[in-house]
Structure 1
């Protein structure tokens, strides 16, 4: 069964969306699909939970703040490389900013603390190792 947070992301994901992460523009997927990094992250945390903490809009800008958490039981390919399964639990607080044009989401920017995520998953220990 698909988790509600994934259904939300799939539903709002139009073709032509230009997501950004780390200041770099990423390619969009087909209409209704997730970017491969989000899809892979969901698969790697099958017990994952998604909570929409705050939603606000002004003009053509919509901002969502959310919390996701789960146990990393699978590898996932992200923008910067593959993150191995660690068996550790992580809680992520993040923010997406959507720009809307002609009634459709045109652009999404995601902000999150990747250092805190890496620390929770034990990946900073591996880097020091």
Structure 2
């Protein structure tokens, strides 16, 4: 089961990588949540597609480089980095940041809890200080 869960999450990252918003939403249960600690927001239901859309708009070349994947039962933990060039507007709860042209390589950790083969909850935890929590991107 753990290997299936790992493969499911790897495929979910690929869905986000190709910016398939509907496909990303479909990876979640109907009541699934995505918590993005870098901006302090929890997305619910169909809102879980918003971070993929937002970051794809701001970083059209966004690439998620997966380093390590750990599984235990229905929990999958992924160490990764988000890499890209800030070429579009980034919408944040505090406002919008226009394109800067700066590149990012943001290490982070994602924790997924699965239920019946889909994501029940996902928590994205950036390093102590995330670049897109400020105007440094």
What TM-score do you get using the length of structure 2 for normalisation?
0.67
Q: How many aligned positions are there?
A: 118
Unaligned runs of 5+ in 2: 1-12
CA contact (8 A) 1:91 1:117 kept: no
Match of residue 6 from structure 1: 17
Deviations 1:3-58 (A, max 9, x none): 9442487263443211223396623243xx85313211112112222211111111
CA contact (8 A) 2:33 2:45 kept: no
Q: Secondary structure at the match of 1:16?
A: strand
Structure scoring higher RCO (CA < 8 A, sep ≥ 6) equals 2
Q: How does 1:1-129 map to 2 (within 5 A)?
A: 4=14, 5-7=16-18, 10=24, 12-22=27-37, 26-30=42-46, 34-113=48-127, 115-118=129-132, 123-124=135-136
What TM-score do you get using the length of structure 1 for normalisation?
0.71
- For the pair shown, the structure with the greater C-alpha radius of gyration is 1
Normalized per residue, the structure richer in helix is 2
Question: Post-superposition shift, 1:116?
Answer: 4.4
Distance, in Å, in 2 between the alignment partners of 1:39 and 1:65 is 21
RMSD between aligned alpha carbons? 3.1
Distance, in Å, in 1 between the alignment partners of 2:78 and 2:44 is 19
Q: Secondary structure at the match of 1:97?
A: strand
Unaligned runs of 5+ in 1: 125-129
